[in-house]
Amino acid sequence: MNNTKSRRPRKSGSTPPQRRKKHSPPSQNRNANTQRNANPPKKKAAQVSSITDFSILVKKAVPQEEVSHLTDLQFEDSPLHPRLKANLKAKGFVNPSKIQAESLAPLKAGRNLIGIANTGTGKTAAFLMPIIERLLENPQRMTALVVVPTRELALQVADEFKNLTQGMRLYSASFIGGTSVNKDLQTLRKQNHLIIGTPGRLKDLLDRRALQLHKTPILVLDEFDRMLDMGFVHDIKRLVREMKARKQTILFSATQEKSQRAIIRELVQNPIEIRVNSGYTTSDNVDQDIVEVPEGANKFHVLLDLISNSGFDRVLIFTETKRWADAVARKLNKAGIKADQIHGNKSQNYRVKALDKFKQGKIQVMVATDVAARGIDIADITHVINYQLPKTYDTYVHRIGRTGRAGKTGKAFTFIN
C-alpha cells in the first residue's frame, strides 16, 4: 500500500499527479493513441450533474466492526423450519443481520413492511426466509411475486432462493429482459412458487395473458427507489392491479425521499418500518476523495496512473453512458489492464459472464453505467471510481455503496474536470 499512499490523487488546488512511464502500455504510440481516443464519438450533450459542492465527495473512512449488521442471535435458536435452518448453516450463516432479526416475525405474521436498507445488509434473505416459511405451510396454493429493477438482481434473488430451499421441492422462475419470451411461456406452464422478474418483462407477460397474478397474495418490491428512477412506476401499478388477492406487500429501498412517499403510501398500507441505515448518507466504511483533472490533461492517463497503483485489485468504474463505458474499457484493455463493461446494450449472457469474471478476479476492472450496476453484490470491491460525475447525490450514494461492505474499508474517487 506504500505506492498507493505516495501516488494519492491530489485534491482541488494541489499539484496534479504526474504519470510514471513504467505504467505505460507496451505500445510506443500510447500518447498519440490514447489522446486521439480520449473521447468517444459524441451523440448528445451530457446531462449536467446537480452536485456543485465538491466537499461532500471528500470524507475519511471511519471503519466499523466487520459484523456491524449482525446480531447476537443465532438462526439455530430461531423458530425457523429445521430444513431452512440446515440450509442456512450449510451456507455459513450463523447470525441473522439486524434487518433479518427485526423483520422475520412480522413478515411471517403477514404484516406489510417498508425496509430502508442497502445491498449487503441481508435484505434479500430477510424477505425470502418468511416467504419460504409460508410456502412450506401451503406449497400447493401459496405463491409470491418479487419485482426487481435489473436482470442481475433478479438472478441473485433466484440464486439465493435456490440455496435456501435445497431439499424442499420449492421452485422459482425468473422473467427478465434479454431472454427468450417463448422459453418464459414454457416456464409459466410449470409450478412456480416464487415469481421473480423485472417490471417490463412481467408486464409483457401480463399483456400476453401468460402470467396470472390474481391469486398471488405476497408482493415484494426490491430496490424500489431505483425502479422509480428507471421509470417503472406505471408497470408496477399494473402488476399491483392484477394482484386481486394481495394481502402482504414488502418494500425495500435504499432511500425514502419525499418524492417517493406518496406512491409508497399508495402501495403499502399500515406498514411497519425498519431502517438499517439513514437512507441519505454514505457509508462510514468508504474513504472518499476527489481527483482533479487539470485543464489540458488527458483524463484517461490520470485514471490509468491511479489504478496502476498497488491495492487497486477489484475496481468498479462508473460512466455516464454506454458509449463511455465501452470506450473506457477498450482503452484499459489496450493499456494492459484486464477490464470488461456492462450496460443496457449488452446481452444477458454477456453481463452474467462478465460479472462472474469480476467476482472470480479474472479481470481487475469493471466499467458500468448506473442502471447496469444497480444490485451488484460482489464482495471485496476495493475501489469505486466515478469517472464522470453522478447526476445527483443519491446516485453518488448508490455508486460508492458497492465498496466498503461487511465492515471492510473501501475507497471511492470522483474525477473533477
* Alpha carbons 27 and 51: distance in angstroms, whole number: 38
101-142 confidence digits (pLDDT tens): 999 999 999 999 999 887 678 899 999 999 999 999 988 888
Which CATH number covers residue 186?
3.40.50.300
* 347 compared with 308, residue with greater pLDDT: 308
End-to-end CA distance of the chain: give it in Å, rounded: 27
Name residue, grid cell 422459453.
183
380, 323: one domain: yes
Does the global pTM surpass 0.85?
no
* 141 compared with 82, residue with greater pLDDT: 82
Over the chain, what is the mean pLDDT? 81
Q: What pLDDT, on the 0 to 100 scale, is given for residue 403?
A: 86
Residue 259 confidence (pLDDT) above 60: yes
Find out whether 366 and 317 touch, Cβ atoms under 8 Å: yes
Most confident of 4-13, 30-39, 316-325: 316-325
Find out whether 216 and 243 touch, Cβ atoms under 8 Å: yes
The grid coordinates listed for 291 are 481527483
250, 344: one domain: no
Structural domain for 30, as ranges? 2-63+284-416
166-196 confidence digits (pLDDT tens): 999 999 999 998 788 999 999 999 999 999 9
Last residue within a domain, chosen from 275, 294, 319: 275
Last residue within a domain, chosen from 275, 301, 324: 275
52, 93: one domain: no
The answer to whether residue 68 is domain-embedded is no
Q: What are the start-end ranges of the E strands in 217-310?
A: 218-221, 248-253, 272-275, 286-292
Q: What pLDDT, on the 0 to 100 scale, is given for residue 275?
A: 87
47-70 confidence digits (pLDDT tens): 555 555 555 445 554 444 433 455
Longest CA span, the chain: 68
174, 49: one domain: no
From edge to edge, which strands make up the β-sheet containing 339-342?
286-292, 410-416, 383-386, 315-318, 365-368, 339-342
193, 295: one domain: no
Q: How confident is the model at residue 152 (pLDDT cuts 50, 70, 90)?
A: confident
Q: What pLDDT, on the 0 to 100 scale, is given for residue 45?
A: 46
Find out whether 416 and 12 touch, Cβ atoms under 8 Å: yes
Q: What pLDDT, on the 0 to 100 scale, is given for residue 72?
A: 66
210-258 confidence digits (pLDDT tens): 999 999 999 999 999 888 877 889 999 999 999 999 999 999 987 777 7
Residue 41 confidence (pLDDT) above 90: no
252, 387: one domain: no
Helix (H/G/I), strand (E/B), else coil: 113: strand
* 43 compared with 129, residue with greater pLDDT: 129
234, 90: one domain: yes
Alpha-carbon torsion angle 96, 125, 406, 71, nearest 10 = -10
What is the arithmetic mean of pLDDT over 9-33? 38
Rama region for 406: left / alpha / beta (φ>0; ψ in -120 to 50; rest)? left
Quote the DSSP letter at residue 289.
E
